[in-house]
Amino acid sequence: MADTPFILQEHQFQRLKSVLARLCVECAARVVFLIDRDGQPIAFHGDIGDMDMTSFASLAAGNVAATSSMAKLIGEDNFPAVVHEGEHESIYISIIGRALLVVVFDERSTLSLVKIRSKRGSFEVAGILEEALAESESYRANNNSFFSEITDDDIDSLFS
Amino acid sequence: MTFINYASREINCKIVYYGPGLCGKTTNLQYIYDSTAPQAKGKLISLATETDRTLFFDFMPLELGTVRGFKTRFHLYTVPGQVYYDASRKLILKGVDGVVFVADSQEERMDANIESLYNLEENLQTQGYDLAQIPYVLQLNKRDLPNVVPADDLTGELQKKHEPVFEAVATNGTGVFDTLKAVAKQVLTELRKG
């Protein structure tokens, strides 16, 4: 059986957005993303310009998955963060449970600032995600999903 | 893991194309990409070697339409087929909602199909999934080649649980969308069950 669907309610999404907005300012970042570890974008705040966020999310998740496996091969349990430093733009990715907090920043900020501020914000993000996950599981347990109302015709209409 | 966002009214699901090296997984994605309207798809990302063999994964997001006011978005991934990229295959199966096994119909690839299918079952188990329970479709690819195993024999050898089976020629698109629709439908049906 596949995993329990992860359901994010509107109020949880808005709370995550406001944490990301604050983090973006505190880190002096260009953009802050929250991504599911499977590569699904959850929320973001900042200037994404013409960046393809969906591709970015899948690559960030693949990146973290690969480095986490490398950690295990050398006897580490995990690498809690991954950093990529470029000439102008840099990326800091930290793992928060089953999500990834990604901060994209340039010369206006520093890695140490981003690390410190991200750590503080990550506790709030973790709290909201845990709440959403617990509610997702109780949704499934109580079998009261909105999706139980989806009919065969609804599904067939996607392919007509 | 299906991700449902009530704020943006989106359902996001992950489908993985699995199979032996050079069976046509990337070709399936390439055909879907080439045949889909620009507004329904994102970029096709290929992490490939210099000789165009998949190194880590191919990825493309595809929007199928709206169900009860929710946009349904499928994230399509392929795995690298070559035996020694097993660590990458395991990673890509994390969070999977549905699997397409692309079999190479050529006689000389029968052993590779069986080995890859066994590898799929094993890697799914490692991630806590059971092939018997997960949305799953079998595609018999390369049916246009001269040295193919008869479809019934191939199905008899590879079918695991009465899953839908589609004959395909991914290079010209035959069977490609039928395969995708079948697995997507199973994923959504699974979601409805809760």
| CATH classification at residue A108 | 3.30.450.30
Range(s) of the domain holding residue A137: 10-142
Q: Tell me the CB-side half-sphere exposure of residue A158, using CA atoms within 13 A.
A: 31
Distance from CA of A33 to the nearest CA of B (A): 15
CA distances from B103 to A51, A55, B81, B155, B174 (A): 35, 27, 11, 10, 14
Q: What pLDDT, on a 0 to 100 scale, did the predictor assign at position B104?
A: 98
Positive or negative: CA dihedral B76, B185, A13, A36 = negative
Contacts of B47 in chain A (CB under 8 A): 62
> Can you tell me whether residue A59 is helix, strand or coil?
helix
pLDDT of amino acid B106:
97
Q: Please answer yes or no on whether A9 and B135 come within 8 Å at the CB atom.
A: no
Note down pLDDT in tens along chain A; length 160 residues.
Answer: 457 788 999 999 999 999 999 999 999 999 999 999 989 999 999 999 888 899 999 999 999 999 999 999 999 998 999 999 999 999 999 999 989 999 999 999 999 999 999 998 999 999 999 999 998 888 766 665 667 778 888 888 887 7
- Whether A115 maps to a domain, the answer reads yes
Let me know if residue A150 belongs to a domain.
no
Domain B3-193: assigned CATH number? 3.40.50.300
| Of the partner residues A1, A5, A59, the one whose CB lies closest to the CB of residue B133 | A1
Q: Between B3, B87, B185, which is nearest A6 by CB?
A: B3
Residue A151 lies in a domain: no
Q: Say if A106 falls within a structural domain.
A: yes
pLDDT at A76: 95
Ranges of residues in chain B with a pLDDT under 50 are none
Do B64 and A3 lie within an 8 Å CB cutoff? no
Residue A160 lies in a domain: no
| CA distances (Å), origin A63, targets A1, A46, A156 | 26, 22, 36
Q: Does B97 touch chain A (CB under 8 A)?
A: yes
User: Where do the H-state alpha helices sit in chain B?
Assistant: 25-35, 86-93, 110-126, 151-158, 176-193
Contact B29, B60 (CB under 8 A): yes
Question: Which one-letter DSSP state was computed for residue B82?
Answer: S
Out of A14, A38, A69, the one facing B95 most closely (by C-beta) is: A38
Give the mutation candidate from B12, B43, B127, B186 for the A interface (greatest A CB count, under 10 A).
Answer: B12
Report pLDDT for A137. 83
Residue A23 lies in a domain: yes
| Residue B83: partners with Cβ closer than 8 Å, 6 or more residues away | B21, B115
Instruction: Give chain A's domain count.
Output: 1
Q: Is there a contact between B97 and A2 if contact means CB atoms under 8 Å apart?
A: yes
CA distances from A150 to A55, A57, B117, B194 (A): 29, 28, 32, 11
Cβ contact, residue pair B2, A54, below 8 Å: no
Kind plus residue range of the DSSP H or E element containing B48:
strand B45-48
Give backbone dihedrals phi and psi of B106, rounded to 5 degrees, phi first: -70, 140
Q: What distance in Å separates the CA atoms of residue B118 and residue A121, rounded to the nearest whole number? A: 43
Chain A residues close to B1, C-beta within 8 Å = 2-6, 36, 38
Q: Is residue A152, in this structure, part of any structural domain at all?
A: no
